[in-house]
């Protein structure tokens, strides 16, 4: 299982790449594997304000429908519109082309509550 060391993670299996005041969000390799083949991704609206822990996206797979939660509060700055035509990118490249959205971080202190790669590995190894 791929767990990049340069990302942060949530216990709900989202990853976060922090660059300046922006946070790119997606689902982890563990999550995409558990979901199975992704067939639809609902991305948020650009400009939407999201609260920490609120649903920011929805992913539908051949097995289930799963909510994706905001790992930090903020405003949606970008969305991956390519997922509308190619939702399988979440399976094929969850840490690259499979990103879901970018948030302008509202409260940077919330980033401290995220897991590092070692902490996330311990979480999934115990699952």
Distance of CA 13 to the CA centre of its chain: 7
pLDDT at site 84: 92
Assigned CATH topology for domain 8-109: OB fold (Dihydrolipoamide Acetyltransferase, E2P) (2.40.50)
Which residues lie closer than 8 Å to 109 by C-beta, 6 or more apart? none
Mean pLDDT by 10 residues, the chain (127 residues): 94 95 96 94 96 96 93 96 95 96 94 95 87
pLDDT at site 72: 95
pLDDT at site 127: 59
33: left (phi over 0), alpha (psi -120 to 50) or beta: alpha
């Amino acid at each position: 299982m791929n767990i990049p060391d340069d990302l942060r993670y949530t216990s709900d299996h989202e990853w976060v790449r922090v660059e300046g005041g922006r946070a790119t969000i997606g689902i982890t390799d563990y999550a995409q594997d558990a979901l199975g083949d992704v067939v639809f991704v609902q991305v948020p609206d650009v400009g939407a304000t999201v609260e920490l822990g609120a649903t920011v996206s929805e992913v539908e797979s051949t097995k289930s429908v799963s909510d994706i939660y905001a790992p930090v509060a903020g405003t949606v700055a970008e969305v991956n519109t390519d997922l509308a035509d190619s939702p399988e990118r979440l399976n094929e490249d969850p840490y690259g082309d499979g990103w879901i959205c970018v948030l302008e971080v509202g409260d940077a202190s919330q980033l401290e509550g995220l897991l590092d790669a070692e902490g996330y590995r311990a979480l999934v190894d115990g699952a």
